Amino acid sequence: MTDRKCPTDMSQGHLASIIAADIRLHHLYRPHLPNMANIWASQRLIYRPVVPTDDPFLAKVNSDPTDYTQSSNMVPHPTGPRDGTSYREFLTGKGQLLGCIICLGPGSAEKGTGDGSGDGQDESNPSSREREQKEPIPIGAVSLSGVVNPAVMHHRHSVLGIAIGKEHQSNGYGTDAIKWCFRWGFRFAGLHRIGVTAFEWNTGAIKLYRRMGLIEEGRQREYFFFDGRFWDAVCFSILEHEWRDKFEKAE
């Protein structure tokens, strides 16, 4: 009996210590819980709050006349510092669920552009490049609008806004930031639907949204007046279950 009981006790003790170690590991790694440490990062980008010192950067994002008229339906005007301030006020305003500056993470400077700011840094000087890469480099802004009023929050829908600085476009950053924004909206903000409306003349954004698999819901005909004629508003959206099928599984 003793011979048989002893090993059993030992094995129970052994089992208990294994379980305790397992629980410790479980608490350490928490594989089934969200990893909040990387919530403000995506594949190649990081996302930070908008601050007043971002005004010059946001003014720069608005300074390209083509990009500006692709994301603003205001009558075109020469853009300047005030447009940086009004963009910041929009991103941080009461109607926003989310407003972030999109940044390249430290060490992720783009090939051939140094820090990507195009500000004439000495590209051949490694120490200059290293200095630049220590701080995240702002490249654009992303927002989710329209669910903050408690009277309409039960609809759980929101509208995406995004702009990537001219010199950083066509590097996949827009796609990366939009996917991140969807993830945040569906997983953390409890949204059911995210919509985005593109001006008919913004063929680049329309191509991008189609390529990403957003559903083209339809058009509001001749909704905007621009450059001598009326143009459609092209409406896209993604629902939570579509996001889960298309993007979450791929993460």
Ligand X SMILES: CC(C)(COP(=O)(O)OP(=O)(O)OC[C@H]1O[C@@H](n2cnc3c(N)ncnc32)[C@H](O)[C@@H]1OP(=O)(O)O)[C@@H](O)C(=O)NCCC(=O)NCCS
CB of 146 to ligand X, least distance (A): 15
- DSSP secondary structure of 4-24: HHHHHHHHHHHHHHHHHHHHH
Closest approach of Cβ 246 to ligand X, in Å? 15
> Residues 211 to 250: which contact ligand X by CB under 6 A?
211
Measured from the CB atom, is 147 or 208 closer to ligand X?
208
Position among 145, 169, 189, 246 found at the interface with ligand X (CB under 6 A): 169
Give me the DSSP letters along 24-38.
HHHHHH-TTS--GGG
- Contacts of ligand X in 49-78 (CB under 6 A): 67, 70-71
The count of residues interacting with ligand X (CB under 6 A) is 21
Task: State the minimum distance, in angstroms, from the CB of residue 162 to ligand X.
Answer: 5
Q: State the nearest-atom distance from the C-beta of 147 to ligand X, in Å.
A: 18
Among 8, 38, 127, 170, binds ligand X (CB under 6 A): 170
SS3 content of the chain, % helix, strand, coil (to 5): 45, 25, 30
Helix (H, G, I), strand (E, B) or coil at 210: helix
Check binding of 8 to ligand X (CB under 6 A): no
* Contacts of residue 41, Cβ cutoff 8 Å, sequence gap at least 6: 47, 105
Among 59, 104, 147, 162, binds ligand X (CB under 6 A): 162
Cβ atoms of 81 and 164 within 8 Å: the answer is no
Span 177-206, contacts to ligand X by CB under 6 A: 196, 198, 202, 204-205
142 is an interface residue for ligand X by CB under 6 A: no
Q: How close are the terminal C-alpha atoms of the chain, in Å?
A: 55
Closer residue to ligand X (CB): 144 or 208:
208
Q: 110-118, long-range: CB within 8 Å, 24+ apart, which pairs?
A: 110/168, 110/171, 113/167, 116/167, 116/168, 117/167, 118/167
Question: Is residue 207 near ligand X by the rule CB under 6 A?
Answer: yes
- Other CB atoms within 10 Å distance of the CB of residue 39: 14
Rounded CA separation 174/106 (Å): 18
Min separation Cβ 122 and ligand X, Å: 26
Question: Least distance in Å: CB of 72 to ligand X?
Answer: 9
DSSP reduced 3-state for 124: coil
User: What is d(CA 128, CA 114) in angstroms, rounded to the nearest whole number?
Assistant: 9
Establish if 144 lies at the interface with ligand X (CB under 6 A). no
Least distance to ligand X, CB of residue 154, Å: 26
Residues making contact with ligand X (CB under 6 A): 67, 70-71, 162-164, 169-175, 196, 198, 202, 204-205, 207-208, 211
